[in-house]
Amino acid sequence: MNYIFFFLISISVIAGCINGKIGSVTDAMLESCDVAVKIALSLIGIMAFWLGIMRIAEKSGLIQIFSKLLFPVAKLLFKEQKKNSPVIGDITMSISANALGLTNAATPIGLKVMKELQEDNPDKETASDSMCMFLGMNTAGFQLIPATVIAVLAGLGCTNPSKIIIPTLIVTTLSFIIAIITALILKNVWRCK
């Protein structure tokens, strides 16, 4: 990533020198730094608020309730797992944490899930169907409350940053469903070969 940023900055400076607008490049860099600091500072309060709300949801058992609701669906989608495998519970916990905006909590759970799925995987060199399904579901990023996006919009001075909740819910729900369908279709296509 550092190389990419170095490349972009270098190209900008070179293009500014060639066009005789190096002053504009410098002004744009300083203005961007100012905006970045303002957004970062405004994110602190909003993120603290949302993370506090999510922590309350976690401590109150809301995530466990949400996980219990998802458990039958997860058992259906991850059929190759043993009947009473604890990985199904971990999968639902990871999805629940992501849906409620607790990405910091979801990441270690997701890593644990992948490790458990790899242990159950008969072919250690290839990802199992369950691993592909879980990766697709996590990558789709279903969210009920997009706390980070709301925080960024508020930091940029948006008058009503919560307007993003319904569109985000629609888009992440569709991407989540498409990820599941794609994993199911590709699972069947790969078996045919």
- % of the chain residues with pLDDT over 90: 12
Kindly report, residue by residue over 101-139, the tens digit of the pLDDT. 766 667 888 888 899 999 888 888 888 888 999 999 988
CA distances from 54 to 36, 87, 180 (A): 25, 23, 26
Q: Does 31 score more than 80 pLDDT?
A: yes
> Distance between CA atoms of 102 and 50, rounded to whole angstroms?
9
